[in-house]
Amino acid sequence: MTSRSVSRLVIVAAVSLGLYILLALRYPLGPSLTNPRASWASMVEATGGSAAWHITIYLGLTLLHLVILKLLSSSEQEQTVLPRLQVIVILVTWLACSVVLMMVAPAGESHDIFDYIFRGRMMTEYQSNPLVDVPAEFDLSTPYIRYVAWRKNVDTYGPVWEGSSAVVAVGMRQVARWLDWWDEDQPVCPRSPGSCRLLMMYIAGYRLLAISLTGFAGWLIASMVRHNQVSLALAAWLLNPLTLIATAVGAHNDALMLMTLLLSLWLLQRRHPLLAVIGLILAAHIKLTALIW
């Protein structure tokens, strides 16, 4: 990739970041927590213009991602290659977009993160098993239960995910206590700014987990492809709008499942079939859909 091509890559990446900033400005995280059942549609006036704006942003992000892939694909055929610079641009863009998207309200993408938070707290704060007990057993005054979508259902995920969720919940509790933000006696969010601040911390914790897992998955992908395809593979994964929004906004546990599946492939490529099978079993104990792969 020539210096001119690198400049083009930076420009396209910057425009993509700008579109993500527009999403963060239109659907800010803080105000969305005042309504436990908020959605992106409820945060703006539901008009044809609003729908067109949203569709345009998503189409723009998709087209820009395709342009990035085209630029990187073309660079493979050039004699002058700057792979390290390409990787740096991709990683910086991914991190910048992830940080911006962490400021976006999760409700428009999915309410799953609120289920993760509440069920994680079920284990750490109430010594309850989300694979056996349902959120509906808790009083409506319990912090954050009003944000839960699947109150009458036990969790459908496996023990590997539940353990990971508990680790995040414990970690956020320790950080909150260190910051002196932990107060279970205050009114629950959205009636208490302190409780909402704590909820935002939990949201950040689960998002950071998903982002970190995505980054590790990117490393696995890069180590499995040929040297001259590293940049293209990383961009296809890390800069994919679906990947960015599903992890930095939705914090979906698919990031853990996919990372484990990629780890299995990585081990298989290095001729460790037994470890690869163990990885596949672990992935299935996150989400059963891993077995489809």
| pLDDT of res. 194 | 86
| pLDDT of res. 81 | 52
| pLDDT of res. 44 | 84
Query: What gap in Å lies between CA 35 and CA 247, rounded to an integer?
Result: 22
Domain ranges (residues) in the chain:
1-292
Residues in a beta bridge with 104: 28
Quick check: 129 and 274 in contact, CB under 8 A?
no
28: DSSP letter: B
Residues in a beta bridge with 139: none
**Helices (DSSP H) in 76-229: which residue ranges?**
83-101, 112-125, 159-178, 193-224
Query: What gap in Å lies between CA 218 and CA 222, rounded to an integer?
Result: 6
124 contacts: CB under 8 Å, gap ≥ 6: 166, 169, 170, 173
pTM, full prediction: 0.93
Quick check: 238 and 100 in contact, CB under 8 A?
no
Per-residue pLDDT of the chain (293 residues; tens, 9 = 90+): 567 778 899 999 999 999 999 999 999 999 999 888 888 888 887 788 888 999 999 999 999 999 999 999 887 655 445 678 899 999 999 999 999 999 999 977 688 999 999 999 999 999 999 999 999 999 888 889 999 988 999 999 999 999 999 999 999 999 999 998 887 766 688 788 888 999 999 999 999 999 999 999 999 999 999 777 899 999 999 999 999 999 999 999 999 999 999 999 999 999 999 999 999 999 999 998 888 76
Neighbours of 81 (CB within 10 A): 17
Query: What gap in Å lies between CA 19 and CA 97, rounded to an integer?
Result: 9
Instruction: Compute the CA torsion angle 243, 245, 246, 248 (nearest 10 deg).
Output: 100
